[in-house]
Amino acid sequence: METPGNGEVVDLTEGVTSIVQTAGAGRGLVTVFATGSTVAVTTMEYEPGGVGDLQDLLERLIPQRGEYRHNQLNHDTNAHAHLRAALIGPSETIPLVDGTLALGTWQQIVLIDFDDRPRTRTVTVQVAS
Ligand code: ZN
């Protein structure tokens, strides 16, 4: 998928649900993994307030502008993106119960692209039943 980067949050729930239904498993574990060191996968309530709050929190915790070794040593600009991605992590594992993802009503699976430029992202979804 294409993303503009810069903390863009993408709701993956519908796509993951569709893959799981196609797989036809009843019980098991569904792993959703994003490839790359500046992208993360987590769950949250996907609505504009929550998305903005999370983006603000991460900017306070790990500001985009700062004295980062990664940027100095590599003449790079995205140290904050690597750190935010490492903090949240690249994957989630969600139980599959009676053919349905065990998510809450207000719990969506989201990808967050922290890089400071547009990226093409690959997400791997595996069902282990
Ligand atoms: Zn980098």
Share of residues in the chain with pLDDT > 70 (%): 100
Ligand 1 (ion): residues with CB under 5 Å are 76, 78
The DSSP letter of residue 121 is: -
* pLDDT for res 42: 98
pLDDT digits (tens, 9 = 90+) for 45-103: 999 999 999 999 999 999 999 999 999 999 999 999 999 999 999 999 999 999 999 99
Distance 80 CA to ligand 1 centre (A): 9
Alpha carbon of 51 to those of 3, 25, 45, 97, 112: distances in Å?
15, 31, 8, 28, 10
Distance 35 CA to ligand 1 centre (A): 14
123 pLDDT band (50/70/90 cuts)? very high
Q: Does the predicted TM-score (pTM) go above 0.75?
A: yes
> What would the two tokens of residue 52 be?
């903005």
Residue 129 or 62, more confident: 62
**What mean pLDDT comes out for the span 27-54?**
98
Distance 12 CA to ligand 1 centre (A): 25
Average pLDDT, the chain: 97
Q: What is the C-alpha separation between 104 and 101, in angstroms, rounded?
A: 9
First to last CA, the chain: 26
Distance 38 CA to ligand 1 centre (A): 8
Q: What is the C-alpha separation between 111 and 10, in angstroms, rounded?
A: 5
Distance 46 CA to ligand 1 centre (A): 27
Question: What does the DSSP assignment read for 20-46?
Answer: HHHHT-SSEEEEEEE-STTEEEEEE--
For 28, counting Cβ atoms within 10 Å of its Cβ (0-12 exposed, 13-18 middle, 19+ buried), the class is middle
Distance 117 CA to ligand 1 centre (A): 11
